[in-house]
Amino acid sequence: MLTLKQKAAIIEQIKKGKSVTVCPKEFSVSKEKAKQLFLKYKSQEGSSFNASSGWFQKWKRRFGIRLITISGEKLAADPGPIEPLKKKLEDKIAALQLTTQQIYNVDETALFWKLLPKKTYVSFNEKSAFGGKIPKQRVTLLLGSNATGTHKLVPMIIGKSKNPRCLKNFEMPIEYKSSMNAWMTKYIFKEWFFKSFVVQVKKHCEEQNLPLKALLIIDNAPCHPSAEELRYLNGDICTMFLPPNVTALVQPLDQNGIRITKLHYKSNLLSLVIALPTKMKI
């Protein structure tokens, strides 16, 4: 339950333009607290206060409070290592004499490829919309790009099946690998680094008349091999690991790149579903 002091602190934070995370259930309980405060401080003979939903909505509007979905991991992030990281990155770029076109970032994300939206449109006569079991088929998606966004790496999908029947006689526009649980592994990442990333970087550098050098920035996930294992041409193409608990703050692909890719996928999936005959299942 929020105390009067906590509510005042929240309002002060909002006035300063800072974001505040509060559990919605505590706001529901705060209506009961408002009644208690009224009885204690403001109650007079003949006066009444119900702390209705209408009052609560006006109270939120008055102080600029709104309900949003909690997303990301920024509250768990540690900003302390960011300054040393910036200095280390600047030194690395200067030592290799890199341009922004030669600095890359890749990251993995889970993609529930059959998952449809939870909301739908219904007529005024319908009181509810029934659904089925939530699809849990998942693959791992690896996305990457250089700092300028001029060279988007070919995405890679990791599934469970080694030779999916749906891909038979189909020319894949992306790369496909498999693992027992559809997760990234050190072996898959190392193979991707030398057989895909290095090849793509070579082609890009030749097209842009750049020296064959590149820096790949990745997080410190356990599925990534060590920096010593991910080196090519005596370190001209190498990797740099982000410190723990800072990826939510500084990793480029976490700043909307992955989210927008998933939005485009879901939009295309919905278009496909709508275009299918009514009786056909996906």
Check pLDDT > 60 for residue 201: yes
CATH of residue 107: 3.30.420
**C-beta of residue 237 within 8 angstroms of C-beta of residue 213:** yes
Q: Which domain holds residue 54?
A: 4-62
Of 62, 86, 102, the position where a domain reaches its end is 62
Q: Does residue 50 lie in a domain region?
A: yes
Same domain, 131 and 11: no
- Name the CA radius of gyration of the chain, rounded: 26
Same domain, 89 and 49: no
Same domain, 133 and 270: yes
Same domain, 91 and 9: no
**C-beta of residue 150 within 8 angstroms of C-beta of residue 103:** no
Q: Looking up tokens 């405060």, which residue turns up?
A: 37
Q: Does residue 193 lie in a domain region?
A: yes
Full 3-state SS string of the chain:
CCCHHHHHHHHHHHHCCCCCCCCHHHHHHHHHHHHHHHHHHHCCCCCCCCCCHHHHHHHHHHCCCCCCCCCCCHHHCCCCCHHHHHHHHHHHHHHHCCCHHHEEEEEEEEEECCCCCCCCCCCCCCCCCCCCCCCCCEEEEEEEEECCCCCECCCEEEECCCCCHHHCCCCCCCEEEECCCCCCCHHHHHHHHHHHHHHHHHHHHHHCCCCCCEEEEECCCCCCCCCCCCCECCCCEEEEECCCCCHHHHCHHHCCHHHHHHHHHHHHHHHHHHHCCCCCCC
Rounded distance between C-alpha atoms, residue 130 and residue 118, angstroms: 10
Q: Does residue 70 lie in a domain region?
A: no
Q: Does residue 262 lie in a domain region?
A: yes
Same domain, 225 and 263: yes
Q: Does residue 203 lie in a domain region?
A: yes
- The pLDDT value recorded for residue 132 is 80
Q: How confident is the model at residue 26 (pLDDT cuts 50, 70, 90)?
A: very low
Give residues with Cβ within 8 angstroms of 128, minimum separation 6: none
Choose the weakest-confidence range: 47-56, 136-145, 169-178, 182-191: 47-56
Of 62, 85, 110, the position where a domain reaches its end is 62
Same domain, 100 and 35: no
Mean per-residue pLDDT, 225-236: 93
Mean per-residue pLDDT, 42-53: 67
Same domain, 141 and 16: no
Same domain, 120 and 11: no
Same domain, 87 and 152: yes
Q: Does residue 160 lie in a domain region?
A: yes
Domain count, the chain: 2
- The pLDDT value recorded for residue 85 is 92
- The pLDDT value recorded for residue 53 is 77
Global confidence as pTM? 0.73
Same domain, 37 and 134: no
Check pLDDT > 80 for residue 76: no
Same domain, 12 and 139: no
Same domain, 47 and 99: no
pLDDT tens digits, one per residue of 87-142: 999 999 999 999 999 999 999 999 999 888 888 878 888 878 887 888 889 999 99
